[in-house]
Chains A and B, each alone.
Chain A
Amino acid sequence: SQKIEQNSEALNIQEGKTATLTCNYTNYSPAYLQWYRQDPGRGPVFLLLIRENEKEKRKERLKVTFDTTLKQSLFHITASQPADSATYLCALDQDSSYKLIFGSGTRLLVRP
């Protein structure tokens, strides 16, 4: 069956360090993968998209990698700040059906 896995345990890091979040998937062949940020009680907000033919994408302090052989995406936040504390969701398209499948998210806590 198709599955998207994100680490359910919160990631707790010190301000200034790089946070690395993982998204693994099985039985999918996505054309692209997206990352969203969600604050408590709010709707997810789109951050970055990476296509299957791209290895890496950057936006300011954010970097996403996509390894279709490993079926894995890594999401990095460099020089992390307490304001980066949130839950981060990865999402895949399902066979170009205009349907996104979301992982359950990883909570990031950045300590001052």
Chain B
Amino acid sequence: EAQVTQNPRYLITVTGKKLTVTCSQNMNHEYMSWYRQDPGLGLRQIYYSMNVEVTDKGDVPEGYKVSRKEKRNFPLILESPSPNQTSLYFCASSSYETRTDTQYFGPGTRLTVL
């Protein structure tokens, strides 16, 4: 089954404790992206990756890091989480072949930073 998986699905942590949210896709997609979703603000892009070892900032990259060492994986790293990073996070992927950027989303990770 074609899918994007994220782990963990729920996470409660404390300020300053480094964490990583994993994302993996099995569709051989080149493009992967991380979004955060907050009430009233919609989906905002954090980082994206056009291919292995190619990453770039989205609209709200501050406080986040990413890496793309393998095509299927795109982890999101919070080196020193703060309460304003409490949010619902989505990973997504898409293929260049369609030339339409249709995004396939993971199930989401709900993060709470105390």
Contact = CB atoms under 8 A, between A and B. Distances in A.
B40 A104 contact: yes
A89 interface: yes
Interface in B72-113: 88, 90, 92, 94, 96, 100-108, 110
Interface stretch (A14-22, A40-48, A65-73, A77-85): A40-48
B100 A49 contact: yes
Contacts, number: 54
Contacts of B106: 43
Interface residues of B, number: 26
Interface residues of A, number: 21
A14 B63 CA distance: 45
Interface of B: 4, 31, 35, 40-43, 45, 48, 50, 58, 88, 90, 92, 94, 96, 100-108, 110
B105 A89 contact: no
B90 A98 contact: no
A28 interface: no
A43 B42 CA distance: 12
Interface of A: 8, 32, 34, 36, 41-46, 49, 89, 91, 93, 98-100, 102-105
Nearest to A8: B40
26 contacts: A8-B40, A34-B101, A34-B102, A41-B88, A41-B108, A43-B90, A43-B92, A43-B105, A43-B108, A44-B43, A44-B105, A46-B102, A49-B102, A89-B42, A91-B103, A93-B100, A98-B31, A98-B50, A98-B101, A99-B58, A100-B101, A100-B103, A102-B42, A102-B43, A104-B40, A105-B42
